[in-house]
Every structure is written in structure tokens, then in C-alpha cells.
Structure 1
Amino acid sequence: MNEKENIQEENLEQNETNQEQETAPAEELSQEEILSNQLAEANDKFARLFAEFDNYKKRTSKERVELIQTAGQAVISKLLTVLDDFDRALNAMATAQDITPVKEGIELVNNKFRKILENEGLKEMNVVGEVFDADFQEAITAIPAPSDDMKNKVIDVVEKGYTLNDKVIRYAKVVIGK
């Protein structure tokens, strides 16, 4: 019986070895399938993420364009009252016999207009008598200074300069003393 048991044991061991050899390629195949499935999932996630990011870029670009197009809407809405005042002033000028009330009306409209722009952050540069500064002014010409203390200073302003929220939006065109 010993021999029979040994033979049976050897057969069992050989069968187990054969089964392991047979299952090994099956495991590798399933491992390849698992890796293939994981790769497909990763590719799908990547494609979805890329499409989502592309949609985000398009949406933000569209929003930026809309913002730029409507950025001045609030200021323009405020200026419509000034436009109405100018229309009334022009109508009054057509029938006015006395020019003094028309001048006063135009001055009121001018002050209202400047006040609205000032409230929006616009400031006029007052540079006459100041030392020339190329960061805020553009020298158009230089003339002999009327006095020694006016050398390299602004003598006259040809075109006013403006800042919007402390950023120069138009440089003052000036005449400086030499």
C-alpha cells in the first residue's frame, strides 16, 4: 500500500503541477484583461476631463467677451442724464433771447458731467507750474523759461491729462520751460 500511496501522491502532485501550469496562463490572461480594462477606464476619464476643461475654457472666454462688451454699461447709463440735459440746453439755445441763462445751463451740465466722471474714478491732472514728469506728461515743445525758477517746469498745458483710478489714461501734453 505504501507503493500505491506513493504513486497516488505522485499523481496528485503531478496533477496539481499541471493545474498550476494550466491556470497560470489563465491568470496572466485575466491580469492582461484587468490591465486593459484599467487602461480603458483611465483613457475614458482623461477624455472626459479634457472635454470638461475645453468646455470650461470656452465658457470663460465667452463670459470675458460679454463682460468687456457690457463693462461700460453702468457709466453710460449714468451719462444718459447728461445727454438729456444737453438736449434741453440745445433746445433752449434755439429760442433763447438772453444768453446768460444758456451759459449758466451749459455750466451746470458741464459740472454734472465732470462730477459723474469723477465719481467713476476719473481725475484731471493739474500740472501747470509742476516739475516735468515723463510718467504723467508728454512734452510737445520747450520754450525759454520766463524765470529761472520755471526751468524744467510745465509752463502751459496744450491738452489736459487724466487718470482713472490712479492709472494714467491720457498723458498731459505740455510746454516746458528751458
Structure 2
Amino acid sequence: MVKDKKKHSEEKIENVDTEETTSAETVSEKSLDEKELNKIKEEREASKEEEYKNKIDELNDKLMRQMAEFDNFRKRTEKEKSQMYDLGAKGIVEKILPIIDNFERGLGSLSEEEREGAFAKGIDKVYKQLMQCLADVGVTPIEAVGKEFNPEIHNAVMHGEDENLGENTVAEEMQKGYMYKESVVRPSMVKVVN
């Protein structure tokens, strides 16, 4: 009986040892599973953070591109508006030039006696005022006589010989040319000698 009790208690001890081992393994497995789960969660969070960071970078890039595109659009619009203004102003100047030509012809045809009259002085003042207005907006006459012929601003309608003047020099101006800022509104009609 003592042997049986001893045997029975040894069996109990083995069972308890086996249970403890199983329970220790379960605890160990649980802790491994929790560690792995935590690791997986951290990896997922890092992956999501990386994804969010990439998305933010992508959106920032899109925003910067849109801002640059808008800035280019604004500059292009300003330039087009300026060009349209210049084109309109140039068109008006072209229409005024024949009037200026008529003023100059009229004043040029007056004798010295007629130039002293009140009417001629009034016309001369109106002509000077008109020329000042044009100068204020950027319209200037092209210098021609005595200058070297430049096909961009001069239109040669006559050719002659003059030994006193150098080669390819403008000797006479038939019709005055004008520039609006940097562009030619009307080239000067000139006689060129060489």
C-alpha cells in the first residue's frame, strides 16, 4: 500500500510536471504570439506611416506644380494683355500719323509772313501739343537724314549718288517714320546714296 501510495504520488507529480510544462509552453507560445502580433502591428503602422508620408509628398508635389502652373499662367496673361494694349495703341498711332503728315505739309507750305499770323501760330501749337502727347505715350520719330540706311526702320524709295555723303547713307526723307516704344509703326521713306 505504501508502494501504491508512492507510485500514485509519483504519477501525480509527473502529471503536475506535465501540466506545468504544457502551461509554460502555452504561456511561452502566447508571449511569442503577442510579440509577433506586436511586431506585425508595428510593421503595419510603419507601412501606413510610409504610405501617408508618400501621399503627403505626392500632394505637396502636385500643389507645387499647380502653383508654378498658375504663376506661369498669370505671367503669360499679363504679357498677352500688355501685347494687346501695345497692339491697340500701335493701331491708333497708325491712324493718327496721316493727320500729323497733313499738319506738317500745311505748316511747311506757309510763307514767313503767313507763319506770323494768329491762325498759323494756333495750328503750330496744336501740332506741337499732338506731338508731345504722342511722345508721352512712347511714339518717337525715326532719325533718318545723315544716318546709315537700316532696312528695319527705313524704306528706300530712291537711290542716288553723292560724293559728300558716305556709302549707304540716307540723303533725304520723303515721309517721316515713327516708332512706338521698340517697334516700328511706319518706316521712313528715304533716298539712299552710296
- What's the CA shift for 1:159? 2.5
- What's the CA shift for 1:156? 1.9
Structure 1 runs (4+) deviating above 6 angstroms are none
Could you tell me which runs of 5 or more consecutive residues in structure 1 were left unpaired when the two chains were aligned: 77-99
2:145 to 124, 128, 136: 128
Higher Cα radius of gyration: 2
Whole-angstrom CA distance in 1 between matches of 2:81 and 2:170:
42
- The size of the alignment, in residue pairs, is 148
Whole-angstrom CA distance in 1 between matches of 2:183 and 2:80:
24
Aligned to 1:138: 155
1:148 partner SS: coil
- What's the CA shift for 1:109? 0.9
State percent identity of aligned pairs. Answer: 15
Whole-angstrom CA distance in 1 between matches of 2:180 and 2:171:
24
2:174 to 126, 145, 158: 158
Normalised TM-score (structure 1) = 0.57
- What's the CA shift for 1:68? 4.7
Aligned to 2:36: 21
**Pairing 1:112–2:140 present:** no
* Alignment deviations for residues 96-130 of structure 1 (CA, whole Å, 9 cap, x no partner): xxxx5443322221111112223444432342244
Normalised TM-score (structure 2) = 0.53
Could you tell me which runs of 5 or more consecutive residues in structure 2 were left unpaired when the two chains were aligned: 1-16, 93-116
Kept in 2: contact 1:151–1:176 (CA 8 A): no
Whole-angstrom CA distance in 2 between matches of 1:48 and 1:154:
59
**Pairing 1:172–2:172 present:** no
- What's the CA shift for 1:17? 4.1
- What's the CA shift for 1:58? 4.1
